[in-house]
Amino acid sequence: MGFTEELRNWNYEQRCQAAVKALEKNRFTALYCANKEAAIDYILKEAAEAETIGFGGSRTVADLGIQDQLAAMGKVLHDHNNPGLINLEEKIKVMMRQLTSDLFLASANALTLSGNIINVDGNGNRVAAMIFGPKKVILVVGRNKLVDGVDEGIKRIKAYAAPLAAKRLNIDVPCAKTGFCMDCNSPGRICTITVILERKPRLSDIRVLVVNEEMGF
């Protein structure tokens, strides 16, 4: 690792640690992870007592590559992006099961240095499961999603994350073709719901792993 990269990692570590402290102040359980391997270890330990595990469609969580390990542990996985699901009705049934899973795994679209968690959804199933229902929620957030404030976070989501998500999911919306937010009114628009968690919901157990690596988008 060169000196420039060492400096960048040091700077990101300070930002990650600041976000962790702010999350803890906002009553979330938060943990700094130096790399994704540390995040994987934490999730596998927390999953030990869970029978059912829901997945919120996160590219970050998918990149961890832990689904096979969880399946090998005998866990029942609720993943609405499973290629074996052939129609929307089946996908919705899985989304409903995620709401009452023992453990729900997802990410955040942006995380402010003051400890606000920002998400933008199309259907609302992901944010619904984050807020209330599962016994435990773990959000894995890469350093690339850290922002200074809510306005910057929403701008980041609309300008960068949403077009990539629409392209990944092959959704027929303008940003999937142009790469830019067009503030569309398309039926398939994926930016219909914005949720900002300013404090931990009273009845929910939410853990946030802030990882000093670029993960997801």
Q: Supply the pTM of this predicted model.
A: 0.95
Output 85 or 214, whichever has higher pLDDT.
214
Q: Which residues of 96-125 are buried (b: 16+ CB within 10 A; e: fewer)?
A: eebbebbbbbbbbbbbbbbbbbbbbbbeeb
Q: Is the pLDDT of residue 47 over 90?
A: yes
- Does pLDDT of 1 surpass 90? no
Residue 84 has pLDDT above 90, yes or no: no
Q: SS3 for 2?
A: coil
As its CATH architecture, domain 3-211 has 3-Layer(aba) Sandwich (3.40)
Tokens of 13: 């570590």
In sequence order, what DSSP letters do the residues of 175-186 get, joined into one string? HHHHSS------
pLDDT in tens, 118-159: 999 999 999 999 999 999 999 999 999 999 999 999 999 999
3-class SS of residue 216: coil
